[in-house]
Amino acid sequence: MTDKRNKAIGVFDSGLGGLTVVKEIIKLLPNENIIYLGDTARVPYGTRSTETIKRFSLENTQFLLQKNVKCVVIACNTSSAVATTFLKKKFKQIPIFEVISSACLEAVLMTKDRKIGVIGTRATIASHAHLKEIKKTNKKVGVFEGACPLFVNFIEEGEISGKLISSLVQKYLGKMKRNKIDVLILGCTHYPIICEILKKELPGIKLVNPAEGLAKNLKAYLTKNKLLRKSSRSGKKSYYVTDLNQRFIKVSEMFLGGKLKGNIRKVNPE
């Protein structure tokens, strides 16, 4: 039997955006084995119904459990917002981490003017997951939510600089800026890719990348529960995707912020 500590961390995402989360996990836990599942055949989740997002998230989690992971990370903000409670009820035997709660806590600790902005996909924003989480921590903080559906498409198409994306940022975030938020939660795995433009268009507003808090939480959990991998060598990375198109490497490396090292395999979790 494998030593539980040496089992991999399982991460799933609707597509490749979750690699921004893998990037932060690798930074803090370089020796861990990671098994990533990107549901690239059915991405995006952010425009789908709650029911369908839950079904896809369930299938992804089952896939990772079959790979015998020691925990599951929901890298996708849409799945985290919509399916966390459902998955935690369904899979009580395994620790499940999501990208909403730590981001909200961090934002509450950061805001001085008690005004937090949250951006995400349509499904994430419609769930009000961040709003509820922030209000649980501090009722007095104002929360300004905004769905930014086209950001994902722009980023996946490499439209990450220039006039077009700047106009879109102003369109989506102009109102939050006028409402004088001082902290903005990047509630989608794609958004860290455009953080430079966001900083430029929203001067003085602090950005929260949920992947950072998630990685810290994960490290704390594994340390506390003596589940850190017993090895001083770099962990093995395995990437599973449900579709593999010609742009895979290019898009993956944009999200990962470097070379994609590890096995890449196409699978069908449906």
Q: Residues in the site for a second copy, rule: CB under 8 A?
A: 40-42, 47-49, 51-52, 122, 126, 149-150, 153-154, 156-157, 159, 163-164, 167-168, 171, 242-247, 270
| Neighbouring-strand partners of residue 9 | 34, 71
| DSSP helix/strand/coil, 210 | helix
Instruction: Choose between 42 and 67: whose C-beta lies nearer to a second copy.
Output: 42
> How far apart are the C-alpha atoms of 153 and 137, rounded to whole Å?
33
> How far apart are the C-alpha atoms of 130 and 190, rounded to whole Å?
17
Q: Shortest distance, CB of residue 131 to a second copy, whole angstroms?
A: 18
- Closest by Cα among 8, 1, 2 to 263: 8
- Name 242's Cβ contacts closer than 8 Å, sequence gap at least 6: 37, 38, 39, 40, 41, 42, 266, 267, 268, 269, 270
Q: Shortest distance, CB of residue 43 to a second copy, whole angstroms?
A: 8
Q: Shortest distance, CB of residue 227 to a second copy, whole angstroms?
A: 35
> How far apart are the C-alpha atoms of 167 and 198, rounded to whole Å?
11
> How far apart are the C-alpha atoms of 179 and 90, rounded to whole Å?
40
Instruction: Choose between 3 and 51: whose C-beta lies nearer to a second copy.
Output: 51
Instruction: Choose between 102 and 242: whose C-beta lies nearer to a second copy.
Output: 242
Q: Shortest distance, CB of residue 196 to a second copy, whole angstroms?
A: 20
Instruction: Choose between 97 and 154: whose C-beta lies nearer to a second copy.
Output: 154
Question: Which one of 71, 104, 148, 188 is the catalytic residue?
Answer: 188
Q: Shortest distance, CB of residue 23 to a second copy, whole angstroms?
A: 22
The pair of three-digit structure tokens given for residue 104, joined into one six-digit string: 């909200």
Which H or E run contains 37? Answer: strand 34-38
Instruction: Choose between 97 and 151: whose C-beta lies nearer to a second copy.
Output: 151
Query: Any catalytic annotation for residue 188?
Result: yes
Question: Which one of 76, 104, 148, 195 is the catalytic residue?
Answer: 76
| DSSP helix/strand/coil, 232 | coil
Query: Any catalytic annotation for residue 104?
Result: no
The counts of H helices and E strands in the chain are 11, 10
Catalytic residues: 76, 188
